[in-house]
Amino acid sequence: MMPLNLMASVDLTKATIEKLQDKLFDKKRITVEVLRTDLIHPVISGNKWFKLKYHLDAAIKQQKIGLLSLGGAYSNHLLAVACTCNAQKLLSVGIVRGEEPAVYSPTLLQLRAYGMQLLFTGREQFKNKLILKQQWAERFSRYYWVNEGGQSEEGVQGAQEILSLVPINNYSHIICAAATGTMMAGLLKSSKHTQYIIGIPVLKINDRENNELITFLKTKSDHPHFSLLYNFEEGGYAKKTPGLIAFMNTLYKQHQLPTDFVYTGKLFRAIFSLAENNFFPEGSNVLAIHSGGLQGNRSLAEGELIFKYNL
């Protein structure tokens, strides 16, 4: 059961598939197509909707009065929660990383405008999600708890629906950005075992053999053919380099593709670098998931990017 208001406002038919036409890909004899999940809704963009939908279902079934979740001051996830709840006439509470700032970020202002109650939490405290959950879930017992980034069974279940938007058999490789890995787990569960699924971690991961992301992916799926490719995180989560910003501007100029520096900018920079280094064999048909979420760009100085993003 999907709530009616949102069915009307999230429009999956807007998630077009666009070919990235580039000399590099021609030279390497590969094709790269982009699934634009960023276009399904002006605010609830990309993978956040998919990861949220079954949480919303469960909350409504359990007759909760709202959703309770957590994230940073530029969180695509909290914005999706706030906007979704607003449309559903549900309440929402956001536990925000860091002390309350003197000046709210544009994203925080928007969360407040959607009626989200904001609970600012020191950065140290924010690190222990289990304690946060214990602390707040009891006080807000009539709210449905959603893990950070929608990482849960419900989140994975929703993310499995992303590939229903594409002619799945056309692709040899599917590539996406990965933070919690919830979206990637959904892709692993909904793709063929002959397809190669690649995640580009956007956070710094020191132990490449054994880390939370890999463990999560392995517990969620038995897909035999996937990799996490490191070295594209540009220093760490929400970190950036001048090279990344320049790349995003060039990508926009040449392909009219808007990206953000936290997730999709790193993903597309990785794709070009992998192609350059012959990672994709000749004849590969690559599907790149544009997972949406441009909020991070709102922390940049005016004019750093040549394109406009989320109002």
Ligand X SMILES: *Cc1c(COP(=O)(O)O)cnc(C)c1O
Q: How far is the CB of 223 from ligand X (least distance, A)?
A: 15
Q: Is 138 exposed, middle or buried (0-12, 13-18, 19+ CB in 10 A)?
A: exposed
Q: Judged by CB, which is closer to ligand X: 143, or 263?
A: 263
Cβ-based nearer residue to ligand X, 16 or 278: 16
Q: Which residue, 64 or 220, is less far from ligand X as judged by CB?
A: 220
Q: Residue 292, interface with ligand X (CB under 6 A)?
A: yes
Of 177, 198, 200, 248, which lies in the binding site for ligand X, with binding defined by CB under 6 A? 177
Is 71 a binding residue for ligand X by CB under 6 A? The answer is: no
Cβ contact 260:295 at 8 Å: yes
Of positions 69, 92, 284, 291, contacts ligand X by CB under 6 A: 291
Q: Which residue's beta carbon is nearest to the bound ligand X?
A: 293
Q: Is 201 in the site for ligand X (CB under 6 A)?
A: no
Q: Determine if 37 is a binding residue for ligand X (CB under 6 A).
A: no
**Using an 8 Å Cβ cutoff, are 310 and 298 in contact?**
yes
- Asked if 137 and 68 touch (Cβ cutoff 8 Å), the reply is yes
Considering beta carbons, is residue 28 or 151 the nearer one to ligand X? 151
- Which member of 72, 94, 158, 181 binds ligand X (CB under 6 A)? 181
Three-state DSSP state, 263? coil
Cross-strand bridge partners of residue 287: 33, 174
Question: Between residue 219 and residue 278, which ones bind ligand X under the rule CB under 6 A?
Answer: 263-264
Does position 190 interact with ligand X (CB under 6 A)? The reply is no
CA 24/CA 274 separation, integer angstroms: 11
CA distance 99 to 145: 22
For residues 252 and 244, what is the distance between their CA atoms, to the nearest angstrom? 12
CB of 182 to ligand X, least distance (A): 3
Q: Which of residues 124-163 bind ligand X (CB under 6 A)?
A: 149
Q: What angle (nearest 5°) sits at the alpha carbon of residue 89, between those of residues 85 and 95?
A: 35
Sign of CA dihedral 215, 221, 223, 228: negative
Binding segment for ligand X (CB under 6 A), chosen from 20-28, 41-49, 227-235, 248-256, is 41-49
Closest separation in Å from C-beta 36 to ligand X: 12
Asked if 116 is part of the footprint of ligand X (rule: CB under 6 A), the reply reads: no
Question: Angle between the 264-276 and 242-255 helix axes, to the nearest 10 degrees?
Answer: 80
- Does 293 sit near ligand X (CB under 6 A)? yes
Q: Which is nearer to ligand X, 76 or 92 (CB)?
A: 76
Least Å distance, CB 267 to ligand X, is 8
Give the nearest distance from C-beta 139 to ligand X in angstroms.
Answer: 26
Cα distances (angstroms) measured from residue 55 to each of 13, 100, 149, 188, 239: 22, 27, 12, 20, 30
**How many residues make contact with ligand X (CB under 6 A)?**
19
Q: How far apart are CA 16 and CA 159, in angstroms?
A: 17
How far is Cα 299 from Cα 288, in angstroms, rounded to an integer? 25
76 binds ligand X (CB under 6 A): yes
Applying CB under 6 A, the residues found at the interface with ligand X are 46-48, 76-77, 149, 177-184, 263-264, 291-293
